[in-house]
């Protein structure tokens, strides 16, 4: 009579191993996508992901043990860990999740989650492991990876805080010129210290995409030519009464001039305040401010200080 070798499986140890591996994946996914989800939700997502271990052990024929089932299960993991805001962000996190999985450990974690199985089912229906405590390489990976993840998390904290600060500095701003008002997204640039030395009015910067609401292509080309060649005879006649010239120092240190416009009004919401002022000038950027079009205007911090002070 054939005797079958029995192997003792320490489910708690194997479950813990998988929980730690899944937590590392989700933590790095959060860092890559710069998501501000609370770490507690990441822990919940890791726990949900690790449940695949007892499912595989006690329900070896379950749909979730197949590659297709695990892909479906990963959709649920991302939902538990990061929630759902919109379809774009959801799939961005999902793809980042798979990217991290296949990158860490030369594909070790990805194969464990999608294709490989720590719990194997033989033809004789006997469950076996390399050891009862799980794969030794995976434990070594966790032992080495944990301090690395901790150091990486620490180094990313300031950068993540800076990115969050940048998101907090985006506002919807409405500018009125020649009786026409248009709204765009603006960013508060703390490095923008440009002011008119004669009137002390702060200068904000708007790119050509936004300014094309008022200026035609020909007028933008004329203004760009006037600024580049310092030939202000090229300024369009119907804009002459609104044009000012502001001297400033270029990046290379050379003094130059910028063509600016005087708006009739600027309006934006700041915290619980409604900011409305005409004490500013608009500088023209004859290109895009950002490659992704996330904002089209750079606001001057002095604009906020002045307006907040006068509204208090």
Quote the pTM value: 0.49
> What pLDDT is stored for residue 281 in this prediction?
92
Q: Which is nearest to 64 in space by CA: 47, 45, 77? A: 77
Q: Annotate 160-182 with DSSP letters as a single string.
A: HHHHHHHHHTEEEEEEEETTEEE
CA distance 266 to 176: 6
H helices present in the chain, as ranges: 11-33, 39-50, 52-58, 67-82, 87-103, 108-110, 136-168, 208-211, 217-228, 301-311
Report pLDDT for 180.
92
**The two structure tokens encoding residue 254:** 């050379």
Helical (H) or strand (E) element with 277:
strand 273-277
**pLDDT of the residue at 129:** 42
- Contact present, 133 and 57 (Cβ < 8 Å): no
> Given this model, what pLDDT does residue 164 score?
55
Tens-digit pLDDT string for the chain (312 aa): 445 555 455 566 677 777 877 887 888 788 777 777 888 888 898 898 888 877 877 787 777 778 888 788 888 989 988 888 888 888 888 888 887 777 665 545 444 444 444 434 333 333 334 444 455 555 555 666 556 655 665 555 555 555 555 556 788 899 999 899 999 988 887 777 888 888 889 999 999 999 999 999 999 998 888 888 877 777 888 888 888 888 887 766 677 888 899 999 998 877 677 788 888 999 988 888 887 778 899 888 887 765 444 443
Report whether 51 contacts 57 (CB < 8 A).
no
Task: Write down all domains in the chain, each with its CATH number in brackets.
Answer: 11-165 (no CATH), 169-311 (2.40.70)
- pLDDT for the residue 130: 46
């Amino acid at each position: 009579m054939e005797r079958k070798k029995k192997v003792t499986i320490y489910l708690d140890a194997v479950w813990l191993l998988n929980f730690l591996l899944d937590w590392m994946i989700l933590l790095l996914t959060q860092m890559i996508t710069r998501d501000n989800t609370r770490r507690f939700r990441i822990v919940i997502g890791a726990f949900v992901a690790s449940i695949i271990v007892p499912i595989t052990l006690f329900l070896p024929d379950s749909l979730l043990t197949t590659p297709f089932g695990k892909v479906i299960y990963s959709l649920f993991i991302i939902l538990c860990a990061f929630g759902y805001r919109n379809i774009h962000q959801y799939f961005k996190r999902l793809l980042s999740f798979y990217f991290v999985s296949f990158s860490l450990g030369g594909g070790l974690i990805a194969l464990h989650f999608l294709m490989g199985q720590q719990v194997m089912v033989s033809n004789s229906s006997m469950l076996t492991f390399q050891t009862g405590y799980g794969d030794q390489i995976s434990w070594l990976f966790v032992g080495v990876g944990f301090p690395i993840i901790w150091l990486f998390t620490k180094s990313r904290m300031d950068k993540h805080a800076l990115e969050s600060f940048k998101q907090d500095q985006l506002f919807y701003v409405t500018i009125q010129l020649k009786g026409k008002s248009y709204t765009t997204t603006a960013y508060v640039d703390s490095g923008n210290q440009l002011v008119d030395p004669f009137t002390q009015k702060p200068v904000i910067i708007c790119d050509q995409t936004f300014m094309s609401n008022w200026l035609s292509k020909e007028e933008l080309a004329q203004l760009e030519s006037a600024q580049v060649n310092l030939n202000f005879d090229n300024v369009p006649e119907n804009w002459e009464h609104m044009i000012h010239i502001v001297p400033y120092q270029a990046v290379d240190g050379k003094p130059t001039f910028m063509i600016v416009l005087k708006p009739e009004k600027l309006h934006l919401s700041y915290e619980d305040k409604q900011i409305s002022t005409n004490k500013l000038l608009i500088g023209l950027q004859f290109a895009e401010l950002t490659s992704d079009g996330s904002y089209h205007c750079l606001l001057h911090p002095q604009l906020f200080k002045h307006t907040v002070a006068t509204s208090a």
